[in-house]
Structure 1
Amino acid sequence: MDNFTVWWQHLPSQMDPVLFSLGNFPLRWYGMMYIIAFGVVFLLTRYRLSSEKLPFDPPFIGDALTWAMAGVVLGGKIGYILFYGLHSFLADPVGTLLPFAATAEGYRFTGITGMSYHGGLLGVMLSMWLFARSQKRAFLQTLDLFIPSIPLGYTFGRIGNFINGELYGRVTEAAIGMYFPSAPTSELRHPSQLYEAFFEGILLFVLLWTLRKKLPLPGSLSGIYLFGYGFVRFFIEFFREPDIQLGFVFLNFSMGQLLCCVMMIAGLALLFKVIISSGISLFVNRRY
């Protein structure tokens, strides 16, 4: 086995999830990746405003992302409890919610753990709906403003999962597999976090960024994102280890796959609505 393969397969054990610590307060790479993700979305959306004719002012972006941050954290946490960790929450509600753990020396900051992508998505959509309503803006038009850049920001979140050694893949004999110290067995596993970072992040970003000027109808970009992410994630879940507390929830499908099916249906429904609405508008304009 060559040196690169050995290095690759043992890479997870060589990474420290803590960037640095200030006393009992550790700054983790995962949290830093969230900051980078929002920074990427902010900068790319600002670029859109400077290069495209969009009916928004620059301050609108920062205000909207502030609401989105709250939606990600609250939605991601609540979603994880509902979809994956209801039993743990019922057993220890306070411990599940608080980002602190009691130790012999006092309290130690553990960070925000147990986050669900699908819960975060619902949280962001709700927060954006409330924000758009408060600003008297169209909801779908507001979503489409940020949608093209979101997948690239999401890429950094999955890299954070990889550095944490969490959400690892299923056992494999392929050389691309890695040894994850936190896995229940010392076998090669798919680095599914990196698969997600590439396909759900970079690939989907390239697609949406390319289409952003070609699909001006409000909701079209959001519909493609919902379907595209759900479609790609559904198949990557075949390489990702199901959550140990749930396993397979329906036949050989994981909870993530079932939620992705709902995403795909929602995306198709939104695209159908956009097409029908545009067809009715075109018919009315031609008639009158």
Structure 2
Amino acid sequence: MAQIQLGPIVLSSYAFFALCGAFACLIYGLFCIPKAQREQSAYLLCYAGIGALVGAKLLYILVSLPEISAHMDQWIYYVSSGFVFYGGLLGAIIGSVFYCHEFHKDSYGQTNVLVPMIPLFHAFARIGCFFSGCCYGAESEFLGLPTFSVYANPMETNRIPVQLIEAGMEFLLFLFLQFYKENRLYAYLVFYSIGRFLLEFWRGDPQRGIWILSTSQWISIGIWFFLSLRFIQSYHHTK
């Protein structure tokens, strides 16, 4: 795993870019969140952040159960390392809903302004994935593709840079959400789940799902199903 040294501090490339993403979100918040909302937004972000960490770790452990059961002597390694984004996303949503419910806050008004932070942070995190050699793409013979090694295979090979493609998709989503201000969470979930579903076909890390689809693809389908039900309910409610 590549490392970046900042004076006496040594960070993994993923941690470095994750910190860059967090800093970018801080700048976004200072410029785009109204002053009257900043205190409540900070509290909501704390709950969302805790939910994200717990959800990302739990889903990682869940999808890693076959490997953990096969290598019980390394269970500490699996428990202490690795996260799954979709678990973090769902955990953040649950944490946000819990905060708004417990403290009687307007969930739509509180979360809508913060949603663009999700693709902004994730874009930087995916760049970190690229330099760390995780979440990598499938091998390919196309010319011009980057050649690099991954943590599961130290030999350098041409691979589809799905991490950078997803980072680009996330930056575009972030820009789109600057202009689309209606129900941003709904829009983000629709576009991200579609993009993620397609990108999963280009992933090169070992099978991470059930049957022919990965765990993330099944979650994407679940998101589509849930959002479709919500759309139908709102449609009948407004008739």
Instruction: Give TM-score scaled by structure 1 length.
Output: 0.72
CA distance in 1, matches of 2:225, 2:175: 22
Ranges in structure 2 where 5+ consecutive residues have no aligned partner: none
Q: Is the radius of gyration larger for structure 1 or structure 2?
A: 1
CA distance in 2, matches of 1:271, 1:202: 26
Map 1:152-191 → 2, pairs under 5 A? 152-182=120-150, 184=153, 186-191=156-161
CA distance in 1, matches of 2:50, 2:17: 16
1:68 CA drift (Å):
2.2
CA distance in 2, matches of 1:197, 1:225: 14
Does the residue aligned with 1:237 lie in a helix, a strand or coil? helix
Shift of the 176–236 alpha-carbon distance from structure 1 to 2, 3 Å rule, reads farther
Map Cα deviations across residues 149-169 of structure 1 (whole Å, 9 max, x no partner). Answer: 321221001011011011111
CA distance in 2, matches of 1:266, 1:197: 25
Map Cα deviations across residues 185-217 of structure 1 (whole Å, 9 max, x no partner). Answer: 643110110011011x112112222111xx2xx
Aligned mate of 1:96, from 78, 84, 91: 78
Map Cα deviations across residues 67-117 of structure 1 (whole Å, 9 max, x no partner). Answer: 2222222111111111x201344425444323xxxxxxxxxxxxxx31101
Does the residue aligned with 2:116 lie in a helix, a strand or coil? helix
1:276 CA drift (Å):
4.6
1:63 equivalent in alignment to 2:43:
yes
Aligned mate of 1:144, from 100, 105, 112: 112
Shift of the 95–239 alpha-carbon distance from structure 1 to 2, 3 Å rule, reads closer
CA distance in 1, matches of 2:90, 2:49: 12
What residue identity is the alignment partner of 1:197?
A
In structure 2, the residue matched to 1:223 is 186
In structure 2, the residue matched to 1:118 is 86
1:126 CA drift (Å):
1.4
How much identity, in percent, do the aligned residues show? 23
CA distance in 2, matches of 1:32, 1:270: 38
1:35 CA drift (Å):
2.6
Map Cα deviations across residues 19-52 of structure 1 (whole Å, 9 max, x no partner). Answer: 23899x842221232233233233323433339x
In structure 2, the residue matched to 1:207 is 176
Task: Note if contact 1:140-1:222 (Cα within 8 Å) is conserved in structure 2.
Answer: no
Shift of the 154–148 alpha-carbon distance from structure 1 to 2, 3 Å rule, reads same
Task: Note if contact 2:61-2:79 (Cα within 8 Å) is conserved in structure 1.
Answer: no
Map Cα deviations across residues 212-248 of structure 1 (whole Å, 9 max, x no partner). Answer: 1xx2xxxx3211111111001111112111x42x356
In structure 2, the residue matched to 1:19 is 4
In structure 1, the residue matched to 2:102 is 134
CA distance in 2, matches of 1:154, 1:273: 31
Report the count of equivalent residues.
234
Ranges in structure 1 where 5+ consecutive residues have no aligned partner: 1-15, 99-112, 281-288
Task: Note if contact 2:64-2:78 (Cα within 8 Å) is conserved in structure 1.
Answer: no
Task: Note if contact 1:147-1:221 (Cα within 8 Å) is conserved in structure 2.
Answer: yes
What residue identity is the alignment partner of 1:250?
W
RMSD of the TM alignment (CA)?
2.6
Instruction: Give TM-score scaled by structure 2 length.
Output: 0.85
Task: Note if contact 1:76-1:115 (Cα within 8 Å) is conserved in structure 2.
Answer: yes
What residue identity is the alignment partner of 1:196?
E
Task: Note if contact 2:140-2:160 (Cα within 8 Å) is conserved in structure 1.
Answer: yes
